[in-house]
Each structure stands twice: as C-alpha cells, then as structure tokens.
Chains A and B, each alone.
Chain A
Amino acid sequence: MYRGDFALGTLMRFLPIVTQIFLWWAIFDTIGGAEPGNAAVAGYSFHNVVAYYLLSMVSRAFSSMPGLASGIALQIRNGEVKKYLVQPVDLLGFLLLTRVAHKLAYYSVAALPFALVFFLCQRFFVGPWPDGLQWTCFVLALLLSFLLGFFLEACIGLLGFWFLEVSSLLFVYMLFNFFLSGHMFPLDMVPQPWHAIVDLLPLKYLAYYPAAVLLGKVPRDHLVGGLLSQCVWVVVFIVLARVMFRRGVRRYAGYGG
C-alpha cells in the first residue's frame, strides 16, 4: 500500500553510509591515498571499507529483528502469552514463522532500492569476483544470521518472565550489538587483545561475518569452520530459548496471571 514510501525509507537508510564514506575517504587521504591498492587499515582499502558497509547492510537486513524482544516481553506482561498455552500453537514457532513471512515481504520491496544502491556503488567492489564456495558460504551465513538474530532476541524477550521490564536490558544488548556485530566498522580493525574477545562472541555473525566472507576477508580454509561455529551458536540459542520458555511458563503459571 505504501510501497513508494517504503522504498524511499529503505534508500534513506543508506544515508548514514554517505557520511561514513567521506569520513573514511578523509582518513585514507591522510594515510596514503584512497586507491584500491592501499590496504592500510587492517587489510582494508578505502574501496573495501565502503563495500563492507554496503554488505553489512545486507546482513543487517537478515539479522535485525525490530520489536521482537519487546513484543515478547509485552505479551508476557499483559498476559497475552496465555493464548499460546491453551492453543496448540507454539509461541516461538509462531513468532518465527511470522518473522519469516515479514522478512520475505520486506525483501520483495527492499530488493529494488538495494539493487539500485549496489549498482551505483559497483566501483567500490574491487578484487576478484567471489567464487562458488564464497557465495554458498555467504548465503548460508545470511540464513544462519537470521536464525541467530531471532533466537538471541527471543531469549532477551523471554527474560520478561523474570523481570517485568526488559527495555533497559534490551538497550544494553542493542548497544553491544551495534558496536560488536560490526555494524559500525569492520571488526578486523579492533586492536588486540580486544579483537580476540570480539572474535569469540556470537554477535559478529549478525553483521560482520557474512560481509567478510563475500569480501574475501575470511581465509578460505576457515570458511567452513566459521559456518560450523555459527551453527553451534544458533543451536545454543535455540536450546536456551526453549529452556527459558519452559521454565518461564512454569513460573508464570505458578504465580498467577
């Protein structure tokens, strides 16, 4: 219905990248030029940095779950969660399917603005065209990042069984997410020893990892291993969400509502 408005909104989301481009342009001008050959910042050239920002927008389109955690917490608080206890519908499964449908609808409309931006910015994608293995790992990493984002945020929402108000917790999560997922800058730039810590966290899979795979910043022999550890994180958060839901429902039923 509001397709035009929506497409415009998606385009607007790329605007912050414009200022980031100029910021990095100025930085690279300072340290020896913005030519594609000058990979001066943690192995990234100016073109790589811009391509990275664009690709991380794609990862974010998969992994971000606006309103999921706060929605779950709200349903717990106002008792709407009872609906799922009496009906033969599973809360997490239901929400997951809703998200899938929502995301599919989103991509069908957002694909055009995304394609336009990537077309306009194609000169920033330098270096060899990614091969089959990279493309496969990229697509898989994106799908897994959707699942990871969903279950991670569902866990935070399910904390609502224990704390009535999760908005401040959610804020802390968003803060860490923004910084440590690689939304703000390529995580390779984090200096040691911090880099080792950031590398261990699951948040990097939400934005950094898929983009890095396609840009060839992940060594080839680490590609499969990286995907496997992403799978492990997804499983961990699926199990955690299930356990939390079961425990939470018991607690919820025990105390009233």
Chain B
Amino acid sequence: MRMSRSYLQVLLTFARNSFVRDTMFRTNFVLECVSSVSWTLMNVGFYLIVFHYTPLIGPESGWGKHQFFVFLGTTWLINSLVQTFFMTNADDYSELIRTGNLDFALLKPIDTQFLVSFQKVDWSALSNFFAGLILLAVSLGHLCTRPEHPLVITPWAVALYVVYVLCGVAILYSLMIALASTSIWLGRNQTLYDFWFYITNFARYPMEIYNRGWGVPLWVLFTFVVPVLVVVNVPARILAQPLYPERSLGWPLAAFALAATVASLAASRWVFQRALRSYRSASS
C-alpha cells in the first residue's frame, strides 16, 4: 500500500514538473497545440470529401459519416493519450540506451520501467484529446437526434467505452515500450517513430475494410499477432453502433480485446526486462 502511494506521488511530481516546463514558453506551447489540432482537422477534411462520394465505408459495415466520425474521434483520444504520456518517454528511452545514461535510471530505487515510461508528460499533445471529445460530442449528437433509429447511449456503454479506450492506450503503450527496448540490441533506433507511424496506420481504419482479397491475412496479423486493430475498433463500435453486434465479431471480439491488453502488457514487460539484462551500458 505504501509502495503504491509513493509511486503515485512520484507520478504526480513528474506530471507537475512537465507542466511547469511546458508552460515556461507559453507562445510555443500554444503554437504546438494549434499545430497538432490542425493536423487532425485536415483528417476531417479528407473524410468529408470521402463521404461526399459514398454513404458508407464498406457495404453493410454501418460506418456512415457520423459513425465514422465517432471512430475518428476515438482514434484521436487514444493517440493523444499515448502521445501525451508515452511518446516522448519512449523516444528518450532509446536515447538513454544509446548514450549510456540509462545507468542512472537503473541506480534509482524505483522500478526502471515505471521510471522511463512516465518521466515526462507532453501536455501540449493533450489538445487533440479535447479535439477528439468535441468531434465525439458533435457526431454522437447527430446520431442521437436522427429521425430513424436514434442512438441511445446507456451509462453502461459509456463505462465500457472508457475501459476500452484505456485498454487501447495500454496496447499501444506496450507496443511502443517493446519497440523502444529493442534499441538495446540494435544500437541506435532511429526508425522508432517511423515504425510506430506505419503500425498505427493500420489501426486508424475500421477493421471491416480488410475483409476483402489479400486483406484477410493482414487482418489476422494485426488482430491476433500485433493487436493494433482492436485498439480503436472495439471502443468506437461500442459507442457508435451498439445495435449491430452481429455485424462484426461483437462480444467475442470485445472479450478478446481485454485478453489482448493483458497479454500485450505482459509481453512488453517481458521484453523490457529481457532487454535490460542484455544492457551493457555505452563505453566512453
């Protein structure tokens, strides 16, 4: 009990320090917020054009314009949480390994994975979280007030949504920290960001789109081996189209997402510790 309290205190200190550091250069902070939001707005522009030509993404998939914008909003929520809390840290971690400064982290009387995962918080990335909330609110508003079959959001759905968003964050975190750990073996891990971008790229679309041609092996790969497809798909579906669980894998998929979260976290912990054992510091 005392142990977890002190971890919480350390976490709060990290968060406060980062906030102070981030807001030291206020204009820069505002500019960073604006620029990350404008990237995401551009995405909305793209999909507005797409829905100019098609009513749905995939026949019978249920991903109409507003349902899809719920999906998009969920993507932003999850991505911004990952960026806020873990992106800088994973990047710094690769750098610590390369420079040999990880020695100092190892000496501290605290769990090393905890220390390197939570050291910094990039508060400006949280601006997309609010952009995601706004998009969610607007598109859910449309769905709940449409004339036929208005969507009803139960407290249960909201609770499940929050749980699954957190699961999504956990899966992405596991993937990221495992990727960053590999730089112990590979030396400099320059392409971490690239790799990250390419993998999460697959998570940004409804999984139904892979259900054709040679997409099926991809679907299997990114659902069961690297479970990035469940990250956004499960929470977005729970909120946007709870009426049609039979159209996708439904509840079995949701149960699988929970198992995938636990498995990813365990696997990343294992990779992290395995990698640390091979760490030989950088000779000067």
Chain A contact residues, CB within 8 Å of chain B: 9, 12, 15-16, 18-19, 22-23, 25-27, 29-31, 40-42, 168, 171-172, 175, 178-179, 184-185, 189-191
Contacts and interface: CB of A to CB of B under 8 A. Distances in A.
B191 A9 contact: yes
B46 A27 contact: no
Contacts, number: 78
Interface in B158-212: 191, 194, 198, 201-202, 204-205, 208-210, 212
B275 to A, nearest CB: 21
B55 interface: yes
Contacts of B38: 172, 175
Contacts of B61: 26
Interface residues of B, number: 32
Interface string B47-75: 00110111111110100000000000000
B55 A30 contact: yes
Query: Secondary structure of the A side of the interface?
Result: helix
A25 B212 contact: yes
A97 B209 CA distance: 45
A178 B42 contact: yes
B55 A22 contact: no
B53 to A, nearest CB: 5
Nearest to A8: B191
Query: Secondary structure of the B side of the interface?
Result: helix
B198 A30 contact: no
B205 A19 contact: yes
Nearest to A41: B53
Contacts of A41: 53-54
Interface in B7-34: 31
Contact of B201 (A16, A25, A42, A189): A16
22 contacts: A9-B191, A16-B198, A19-B202, A22-B212, A22-B215, A23-B57, A23-B205, A23-B209, A26-B57, A26-B58, A27-B58, A29-B58, A29-B212, A31-B53, A40-B53, A171-B35, A172-B35, A175-B42, A178-B42, A185-B49, A190-B49, A191-B52
Given A12-B194, A189-B53, A168 B209 contact: no
Nearest to A171: B35
B213 interface: yes
A42 B35 CA distance: 30
Contacts of B53: 27, 31, 40-42, 189
Contacts of A15: 198, 201
A190 B191 CA distance: 34
